[in-house]
Structure formats: structure tokens, C-alpha cells
Amino acid sequence: MSAPLLAVHGVSAGYRPVPAPPVLADLDFAVDAGRRVAVLGPNGGGKTTLFRILLGDLAPREGTVDVGRTAVVPQTERSRLDFPVSALDVALMGAISRLPWWRRPGRAERAQAREALVAVGLGDHVDRTFGDLSGGQRQRVLVARALVQDAPVILLDEPFSGLDSASTALLEDVLTALVGEGRTLLIATHDVEQARRWDDLVLCLNQRQVAFGGPSLLTREVLEQTYGSEIVDIDCAEHGHERAVLPPHHCDHDHR
């Protein structure tokens, strides 16, 4: 049996000053290659802190983290939309980490970046200015950048936030293809229904690891521990089941 691609054991982490309590504790999970993990939790629940730990940006106070090369797909709002770069320029940034400081990305890296853009369905938008693309297209450009990094583990920070149904479907197709290639995705999301539909793994965080496993563990009790008393019951008959227990901001989203 092969070792998991990502293993986190007994990890807690926090920010300075050190005597302050950890913002995330009791992390203990392992993920094999080719899995999709929905990371659920309220704002401030520790999703970003987990990503910083996995990227090596924040050292854990306790425990061990065993993860290979990892790429991150941030929310597009964090990028400067007025910056004069094309989709190809952004995808090409993924090649920098593999190059020595004195080398610029060359022909081979440009070809790889073009291939990555084709893989995310943006082969016709290579030369478009990043800021002129739609939100869904921008998100796929950032996925292409992660592909150029050639990382087996990709972290996605609320990639569906603000996307319409069509863009969400396109992005989901891209992510499904990546999982099919054997990459492991950790996707921060507030969409519990989406996590259930993926039918893979869920990791619930609320300043500690509340639960980790299959979507069947997304019970009312677990969601209450994850989101506190803020969860609401809404009628979801149109989606094939009578009621769902969801975090409150989910009501603002499209059901996807």
C-alpha cells in the first residue's frame, strides 16, 4: 500500500505572539493521490491557516506535516486586475519556482503554460488581458498557473465564490479532470451541498479539526460544531431532498 500524498499528524498552529492560543489545533488526517477534499468551516475557522501550513508559509507549533510540492489557487480578488499581464503571463508565473534566479522562463516554459491554458479550456484566451477576463475565466487561469507548477497537491481558496452556474460547472469539470490525473485537491468552500455532491472527502474546521472523512459525516451535529449555532434549515425539495442543514451564507449562493 502506497504512502498518502499528504499526511498531517497532531498539528497545531498559531500566530505571534507565541503565548497566544493556537488558531488551529488537533489536525490529524491523511489524503491519498487523486482525492478531492472539501475544506469546510466558518470565516476565521482556520482554512487559510491550514493552507499556509501546507505551503510551508507557517510552521506548526506541534505535530508533523508531510506533503510534497504544493501549489495554491487564490481568490482572484487578491490579484491586481489592473496589472498589465496576459493569461499566458500569469500561467507562466508557475514556472518561476523551477528556474534558477538568473534564468527567465523560456520557450519550453511558454509551451507548457499554453498547454495548461488549453487544459483549463482557455486555449483561445492566451493573449487576453487577465483583468478583462470573467471571474470564472480568471479562476481557471490561476488553476493553469498551478498546473505549470506541476504540483501533485493543489490548494484552492473558495474558487467558486462569486461565479455563476455556468462558470462553476466549467471549473468543476476542470477540477474533476485534475483529480482524474491523480492530483489531490483541497478546496476551501462554504457550499455543503457541493461537498456532498462531490462524494469524496470532507474536512471540517472550526479552530480545530471537527471531522474528517466521507460526506456521510456531514450531519447536523457536525455542522453545528463546525459553524456554531448559525446553521439554518432550508427547503431544498427542488434539488431532490426535502431539507438541508446549511451555513447561513449558503442561502445567498446558487444551488449548484
Partner 1 sequence: MIEPWQDPLMQRAFLEVLLLGIAGGALGCWVIQYELSYSAESLAHAILPGLVLSALTGLPLLLGGAAGLLVAALAVALAGRVPEIGRDTAVAVVVTGMLGLGVLLALSPESPPRLQDLLFGDVLGVSDTDLALAGALVVGALLALYLLHARLLAVGFDRLTAPALGVRPVVVDAALLVLLAVVLLVAVQGLGNLLVISILIAPATAARMVGRRMAPMMVGSAAVAVVGGIAGLYVSYHAETAAGASITAALVVLALGATGLRAVLRVTLSRPRSI
Distances, alpha carbon 121 to alpha carbons 34, 116, 162, in Å:
21, 9, 19
Q: What's the N-to-C CA distance of the chain in angstroms?
A: 36
The answer to the question of residue 57 lying near partner 1 (CB under 8 A) is yes
Out of 12, 137, 194, 226, point to the residue binding partner 1 (CB under 8 A).
137
- Reading the block at residue 102, the C-alpha cell is 538568473
Task: Report which DSSP code applies to 22.
Answer: P
Task: State the CB neighbour count (10 A cutoff) for residue 81.
Answer: 13
**Using CB under 8 A as the criterion, what x/- string covers residues 155-194 for binding partner 1?**
---------x------------------------------
Q: What minimum distance in Å lies between the beta carbon of 215 and partner 1?
A: 29
Q: Of 98 and 255, which has the nearer Cβ to partner 1?
A: 98
Q: What minimum distance in Å lies between the beta carbon of 246 and partner 1?
A: 27
| Non-local CB neighbours of 118 within 8 Å, separated by 6+ positions | none
The answer to the question of residue 242 lying near partner 1 (CB under 8 A) is no
**Using CB under 8 A as the criterion, what x/- string covers residues 77-116 for binding partner 1?**
-xxx--xxxx--xx-xxxxxxxx-xx-xx-----------
Of 43, 228, 200, 36, nearest to 245 (Cα)? 228
Task: State the CB neighbour count (10 A cutoff) for residue 251.
Answer: 10
Q: Of 97 and 219, which has the nearer Cβ to partner 1?
A: 97
- Reading the block at residue 200, the C-alpha cell is 469524496
Which residues of the shown chain bind partner 1 in the complex (CB under 8 A)? 55, 57, 70-72, 74, 78-80, 83-86, 89-90, 92-99, 101-102, 104-105, 129-130, 132-134, 137, 145, 149, 164
